[in-house]
Amino acid sequence: MSDELLTAQETAAELAKQGVIKGVKAFTIKRWGRIGLIPVVSLGHRTKRFHLPSVQAALLKRQLKAKGTMSLAMKSWGETSGKCIQPPMCFR
Read off the pLDDT of residues 32-66 as tens digits, 9 standing for 90 and up.
999 999 999 999 999 999 999 999 999 988 887 77
* Pairing assessment for the beta strands 41-42 and 5-6 based on DSSP bridges: unpaired
pLDDT tens profile 60-86: 888 877 766 544 444 444 444 444 444
Domains held by the chain: number = 1
Q: Which domain holds residue 18?
A: 5-90
> What is the predicted pLDDT for the residue at 69?
55
26 or 2: whose pLDDT is higher?
A: 26
Cβ atoms 27, 36 nearer than 8 A: no
For residues 34 and 4, what is the distance between their CA atoms, to the nearest angstrom?
Answer: 20
Q: What is the pTM of this model?
A: 0.67
> What is the predicted pLDDT for the residue at 82?
46
